[in-house]
Structure 1
């Protein structure tokens, strides 16, 4: 007999899956928000940093420090997504498989 949704919700492995996914999701979201809004707030409220971001990386270069920092913000989103995917593949998929097997 197949397990009901209530049976699955009571499963300790399901509760562990939900808790760990929620914790990691909120942690990575907070990190991304801190990076993004930190960059925006520093540019908006710190005039010295605004001047720093406009400095060219090399003499005669059109690439500035601000472009590099902006790329960091974008790349950090990919890195944080990669961290989530690695964690999902390493642990969450295994927990999901165990839950499905137990519910059959």
Structure 2
């Protein structure tokens, strides 16, 4: 039996918890994607249009420039939004998935 003729596929697609799962997961995915794109392209924009700002030393006599902590912040931000998605997926999305599977069985 292939997926297109399996009656469980239609029951899952019509299940209210599945609809809620899809909406919630898609909304979160888009929000996190937009945030990541803004952060990443904002940093690339700084590199392209304001190199002098990024080259500014953090303090007098310092070899470290402002660009270094901004780049590290971008990496930390990436890890943080990945953690946000994983935490939400493990809590909310997995519970909805288990509920759907139990109801369809």
Give the TM interval when normalised to the shorter protein.
Answer: 0.7 to 0.9
Q: What is residue 88 of structure 1 aligned with on the other side?
A: 89
- The alignment yields a C-alpha RMSD, in angstroms, of 1.6
The Cα of 1:43 is off from its aligned counterpart by: 2.3
The answer to whether residue 41 in structure 2 is matched with residue 37 in structure 1 is yes
Give TM-score, length-normalised by structure 2: 0.87
Residues paired across the two proteins, number? 100
Gaps of at least 5 residues in structure 2 are 1-5
Q: Distance in 1 between matches of 2:7 and 2:74?
A: 44
Please list the CA deviations of residues 45-97 of structure 1 after superposition, one character each: whole Å capped at 9, or x if unmatched: 23xxx212112223333221101101111111101101101111121111011
| Higher RCO (CA-CA < 8 Å; seq separation 6+) | 1
Gaps of at least 5 residues in structure 1 are none
Equivalent residues of 1:3, 1:103 under 8 A apart? no
Give TM-score, length-normalised by structure 1: 0.88
